[in-house]
Structure 1
Amino acid sequence: MDKLTETRSNTALYWLFAICAVLAILGSLIAPDDSSPWRWLHYLTKPTATLLLLVAVLRGMGSRAYGLPVAIGLAFAAAGDFFLMLPGDYFLAGLVCFLITHCAYIWALTRDSRFGRHVTIFAPFAVIAAAVFAGLWSHLPSPMRIPVVIYALVLVGMAAQALSRDRQLAGTPGQRAARFAAFGGLFFVVSDTMLAYGRFRWNIPYNAIWVLSTYYAAQYLFARSTENDAEA
């Protein structure tokens, strides 16, 4: 397959992803529980959107050293999507899947940059994590407290490393791709924070819109960050 055909194919995959993402959000709004006849729309499109990004990464990654860990992260994210939408309480299983996703992303983000190099970036994220813990702690079921703490630490570590890598690659051909990942990390922090508060503390109006739109934005940006890595 020549480069132009591959580019057009990946563009089609990204458009299909966008359609599935919109339908997943719509499905969660018009069918908030399993009693709705439209619930199948959410079940069908939510993991499919993530899987489409996985295929796009596998087809268009620039460097396997960076792209392969991102692909692994997307595969576990698709599994996490599946667990979180199942009837019943599979929140912990979904949490573990997304924990592995963020570990895979940290692996990718340290292929060409040092972890924790910029303390001025990591320190504010530590404060953010502490503030999230403080707001959620008394509302979390006791068995969930330690898993949520571990997950949040890995999440903010991933986001901080994405921003640190963007700074470390400043002025290099890989900066544009690094910038995608940096914004992806930020969107993930926003999405997961709203998910946690919407589940354990507050009834946030139209929460599915805010959680899923920022989640899919994060995953899209990480997928796009693999494309030019070979030029870094």
Structure 2
Amino acid sequence: MTAAVQRTSLSLPLLTLVSAALAILALSQPPQVPAGWGFVFKPLTTALIVWHAWRRGAAQPALARWLRAGLLCSLAGDVALLWPESGFLPGLLSFLAAHVCYVVGFCSRARLGAVRWPFLLFGTVAAVVLGRLWAFVPAALQMPVVVYVAALAIMASQAWAWWRHSVRHPEELRARWAAWGGTLFVFSDAMLAIDRFAGPVDQASLWVLASYWPAQWCMAQSLGSPAESSAA
């Protein structure tokens, strides 16, 4: 690993953490720093994670292509949700596209449903959360929300299926990153949905974003290390 790669590997997590913290502080209610900073640091944090992913994945080109596409869709969703009302549906559709990309990427490593119990687990979680919130979801958003929740549950389930399918295989660690990324994404979106439809949740931005960005970081980590990419 070159000195430049080593320096980037050390500085990028720190830059991402600082950017995430500033975004959370700006988007808190009330804001702890100037609220306008959220328009800079929220997309910047995701952009840094995109860069983290772009330096990885040469050994798994199909997985890398789809996960990078998912991260770019997520970046678009982050920008849309800076306007919580007018941007909610565009943001929802952007993240729906991100989950589809992630599912396709994970399916390049293990067939869909290669391990079945995660689908039962996350399907049950999704049904319980949706059932609790259904009375609060506006009629115009019910179908988009159902489709989104299904895609989210399938994404997390397939990430776990990839991990459990790869136990004791060389790529098990990468698959484990994806599985925990999917789990954190489910938690983050559940908190977001509760806050939007049934809330408000105290310190919602902290709960949502402090699990969302680690979820995306885990997705990027599932592409392996820069050293693996250099070797490939």
How does the TM-score come out when normalised to structure 2?
0.92
- Does 217-226 or 63-72 show the bigger shift? 63-72
Amino acid at match of 1:181: A
- Does 206-215 or 14-23 show the bigger shift? 14-23
- 2:69 matched to 1:72? yes
Q: Equivalent residue for 2:200?
A: 203
Indicate which of 40, 43, 66 corresponds to 1:44.
40
In 2, distance between residues paired with 1:67 and 1:31?
A: 38
Distance 1:142 1:30, change over 3 A: closer
Distance 1:4 1:169, change over 3 A: farther
Q: Deviations over 1:5-54 (max 9, x none)?
A: 3243233222211111111111112655xxx9812111100011001111
- Does 55-64 or 208-217 show the bigger shift? 55-64
% identity of equivalent residues? 33
Q: Equivalent residue for 1:23?
A: 22
In 2, distance between residues paired with 1:87 and 1:145?
A: 17
Distance 1:88 1:120, change over 3 A: closer
- 2:51 matched to 1:55? yes
Q: Equivalent residue for 1:14?
A: 13
In 1, distance between residues paired with 2:3 and 2:176?
A: 24
- 2:127 matched to 1:130? yes
Q: Equivalent residue for 1:187?
A: 184
The aligned length equals 227
Q: Equivalent residue for 2:112?
A: 115
Structure 1 SS opposite 2:81 = helix
In 2, distance between residues paired with 1:4 and 1:186?
A: 34
Equivalent pair of 1:30/1:38 in contact (CA under 8 Å):
no
Equivalent pair of 1:57/1:227 in contact (CA under 8 Å):
no
Amino acid at match of 1:191: S
Q: How does 1:89-108 map to 2 (within 5 A)?
A: 89-108=86-105
Q: Deviations over 1:157-212 (max 9, x none)?
A: 00011111100111011011111110000000000011001000121111111000
Equivalent pair of 2:63/2:223 in contact (CA under 8 Å):
yes
- Does 12-21 or 45-54 show the bigger shift? 12-21
Distance 1:11 1:193, change over 3 A: same
Indicate which of 137, 147, 152 corresponds to 1:150.
147
CA RMSD after TM alignment? 1.9
Indicate which of 167, 171, 176 corresponds to 2:168.
171
Structure 2 SS opposite 1:61 = coil
Equivalent pair of 1:188/1:218 in contact (CA under 8 Å):
yes
Structure 1 SS opposite 2:16 = helix
